[in-house]
Amino acid sequence: MNNEKYTYVNKMNILFGDLELVDIQSVVDNCKDRWFNQTLCKVNDSVVRLGIVQGEYHWHKHDSEDEFFLVLKGELYIDLEDQDTILLKTNQGFVVPAGVKHRTRAAEKTIILMIENIGIIPTGDE
């Protein structure tokens, strides 16, 4: 896997409101970034975020929040500190519990959904 670093684009605004169609494909089609994160909608105290990723994210953790990843297209590696790497393929998901140091990476363009607490900081608490 390429170790190049890319600029992270994290859009925390809520793109789609209640009773509004969530059009993931339109966001994917308009994305020109290699590491892109857009909040799609709010559900109670959580948000659903779309990730369009290629390359590696940095090692980080979230002290108080779990993070759920679901691959819509492609393959996502989740490296866990002092544990095995998890490989998620299309239609597979995984929860990284609060406090677990991790890094996500994708060799090719991969499209994922993340469900997490609305207050989570995508770049981590560390």
Tell me the per-residue pLDDT of 74-88, one tens digit each, with 9 for 90 and over: 999 999 998 999 999
pLDDT score for 1: 46
Question: Sorting pLDDT into bands at 50, 70 and 90, what band is 108?
Answer: very high
- The neighbouring-strand residues paired with 41 are 48
| Mean pLDDT in residue range 13-39 | 96
pLDDT score for 3: 45
Quickly tell me which residue has 């994917």 as its tokens: 28
pLDDT score for 5: 56
Sign of the torsion formed by the C-alpha atoms of 95, 13, 36 and 31: positive
| In the chain, where the domains are located | 9-117
Quickly tell me which residue has 């469900």 as its tokens: 115
Question: Sorting pLDDT into bands at 50, 70 and 90, what band is 126?
Answer: low
Report the C-alpha gap between 34 and 18 in whole angstroms.
29
| Mean pLDDT in residue range 89-107 | 97
**How is domain 9-117 classified at the CATH fold level?**
Jelly Rolls (2.60.120)
pLDDT score for 123: 73
